[in-house]
Structure 1
């Protein structure tokens, strides 16, 4: 059996996801926006090792239940280990989220940074998932909008345009989506997709998390954030120049643009280090609505 890629990325996923949300903002959503006052049963599509469940279950009303579905056996094994000693009723399935058949009994369906890895999810995934919800159940999608995240970097001493070339990156994302149907900017499009499927009372929020790598804090605090940023791909050294440029040309980029993009990524990798003063806001989009049956 072919190895499932994300099964090999447990450490990476665990380190980097703290970059995206403040716990008090999630609590605000649960209590003041979604107004969850009674126990609910939540189903998490593409749950990974259960990050979202670990974040949300302590905020949900007592007696809430959690179901996680993921294609990776190692993810589910890790999830069972993490949840074993916690006071929550849980169940886990190793399955393809587009193929599993379940009862329409769930109060909330969620996904986190999952749709961007799926080809054209609006044509299949959403329809499949909405069926699992009970009447007036909520669908909640935590998904990225890469280009807005990339516009929210600042490293002291350098103009943003020197290290992140937004124009070429936006073009690359759009062309890649046309080629393979996978969309790193899907977070900003989810409201439209849900509307087309008849979901009601749709709203979209943005995570308030802003990461500040401050050279004046303790070494331990710097290392924690710096390692998370590096795992998220920030300041990564680009591959061999000729191979990098050729790869971009194969994706429809002109030679000059490819050369400039290489130079920008190389500069970022050279100036970004643990003692940098850097601000980064991921701008994760959180879209939600209700399903009426």
Structure 2
């Protein structure tokens, strides 16, 4: 069996997920937007190491349960180890989500930064809808990459010098057309859910804005800077020829690919721990109710 890519990305996932949300905003969603007043059984598609379970279970009514589905054996192993140190009711199932059959037994089905990696995200949404009881809720936390790319400010630097939004939009759209995997899916999910019969659909945006402040505590600054780099913000790109070849395979012209490479190099050379930078991930949070 081929090695599962995300099994080797556990440290990256652990070091960067916190960039997306403030805890009080998740609490606001649970209590004021979704109005979850009774214990629920939640199923997480592409759960990874159970990140969303760890974030949401403390906010949900006592007695709530969590089931995580993921293909990664190491991710599932790590999730079980993490949850063993909690009192939460949780189970984890290693499976291929594209083929697994899930019974209609859950109150909430969620995904987090998962559908963008699926070649047939609509099919996964259908599975999510099919797994919740009547009156259950589907919640998708998914990105809109081009909004993400437009949401950096490196103090004193014109953004256009290191972020080619037009080229990136072309790249993302051609990726989606070729493979079905869509980094801009977050803004498309409201329409997709409505078309699949989900009602009361609404979309929010993650609240967190990360600010690398030269007056913050040194350890906090170091942690945030390293998280930015792991997230790919200001990281030095690899070999020019290899990167350019990959970009051209994805649909850019030779000139566009080289300009994109130069922009990433410029960003990497400019950005360091002693700069001011503001970054908003802009995750889109779409939810709706399944009424059959």
TM band (smaller chain): over 0.9
Match of 2:67 in 1: 67
CA displacement, residues 93-142 of structure 1 (integer Å, 9 cap, x when unaligned): 111122222321100000100001000211x1111221110001000000
Cα distance, 1:28 vs. partner?
0.2
- Taking only aligned residues, the RMSD between alpha carbons, in angstroms, comes to 1.1
Name whichever of 199-208 and 80-89 sits farther off: 80-89
Match of 2:216 in 1: 217
Match of 1:163 in 2: 162
Match of 1:263 in 2: 262
SS at match of 2:119: coil
Given the alignment of the two structures, is residue 130 of structure 1 paired with residue 129 of structure 2, yes or no? Answer: yes
Moved over 6 A (4+): none
SS at match of 2:264: helix
CA distance in 1, matches of 2:58, 2:4: 30
Cα distance, 1:244 vs. partner?
2.7
Count of residue pairs the alignment pairs up:
292
- For the Cα contact (< 8 Å) 2:197–2:290, is it kept in 1? yes
CA displacement, residues 159-210 of structure 1 (integer Å, 9 cap, x when unaligned): 0101111000000000111111100010010001111101000000000100
CA distance in 2, matches of 1:218, 1:284: 27
C-alpha distance 255-2 of structure 1, shift in aligned 2 (>3 A): closer
- For the Cα contact (< 8 Å) 2:42–2:108, is it kept in 1? yes
TM-score under structure 2 normalisation? 0.97
- For the Cα contact (< 8 Å) 2:39–2:64, is it kept in 1? yes
- For the Cα contact (< 8 Å) 2:152–2:277, is it kept in 1? yes
CA distance in 2, matches of 1:98, 1:258: 33
Gaps of 5+ in 2: none
CA distance in 1, matches of 2:290, 2:98: 18
CA displacement, residues 200-230 of structure 1 (integer Å, 9 cap, x when unaligned): 0000000010000111222101111011111
Gaps of 5+ in 1: none
TM-score under structure 1 normalisation? 0.97
Cα distance, 1:251 vs. partner?
2.5
SS at match of 2:282: coil
